[in-house]
Amino acid sequence: MRDSDVRSAVRKMLDERHAGDLNTRIVEEMGIWSGSVRIDIAVINGELCGFELKSDRDTLQRLPLQSQLYSHVFDRVDLVVGERHAKKAEKQIPEWWGLQVASLAENGVHLHEGRRGKFNPTPTPYLIAQLLWKSEAIHVLEERGLAKGWKSKRIKAIHKRIAAELPLNELRDEVRAALKSRSSDWLGQVRAGELDMPVESNSDPVF
């Protein structure tokens, strides 16, 4: 079972689950932490949900750090893992993460729920705010009459202010709205000055 087989199965499941839902956007390789880390698949609607994929050909070496980083940002996370890794992986992820097990069947890859996920109990507002490009972050401040004197400041300072000024639920709403409104090629754009580093680059990603 290849990585691409697992990805195709998860994407098919999500496409069917959200078919016809104009409020849902599904993206692959979405950057967090100023684009230095990318999750395999993200679903953006009334929540920000991440899906990290580990086929039987993968190792779990990076999983503990990935679980730590993703848990700062996403409302929900599901780990989709091959049968070979299922028991070990379940011990390495937070209790609120969901677990889906991928197995090879006659008609392709079958996914079954190993553990139902819950809502993230401890997100980090600053790192959620960091998903905004500078232009988006300034717009959030402008809507609240808070942008005066801030347009020339570094994006890191702007993110910190947004995280401090907005209630968490309001911050989440603004970030999801911004992610859904971006053009179809935003995952491949290099946004000079918008982030501390680009969402995508020609260098190797952290993960």
Query: Domains in the chain, start-ordered, CATH in brackets?
Result: 3-115 (3.40.1350.60), 125-188 (no CATH)
pLDDT of residue 183: 85
Place of tokens 């097990």: 101
pLDDT of residue 197: 38
pLDDT of residue 195: 54
pLDDT of residue 2: 80
Place of tokens 């717009």: 139
Instruction: Read off the tokens for 58.
Output: 């993968």
Task: Report the Cα 40 to chain-centroid distance in Å.
Answer: 8
How would you list the strands of the sheet with 108-115, edge to edge?
25-32, 37-44, 48-54, 76-82, 98-105, 108-115
- How far is Cα 43 from Cα 52, in angstroms, rounded to an integer? 12
Residue 51: exposure state from Cβ atoms within 10 A (0-12, 13-18, ≥19): buried
Fill in the amino acid letter for 107.
Answer: N
- How far is Cα 172 from Cα 200, in angstroms, rounded to an integer? 23
pLDDT of residue 200: 34
pLDDT of residue 206: 35
Low-confidence ranges of the chain (pLDDT < 70): 188-207
Residues 6+ apart with CB under 8 A from 39: 29, 30, 32, 50, 51, 52, 70, 74
Fill in the amino acid letter for 80.
Answer: V
Q: What are phi and psi of 195, to 5 degrees?
A: -135, 165
First to last CA, the chain: 21
pLDDT of residue 118: 97
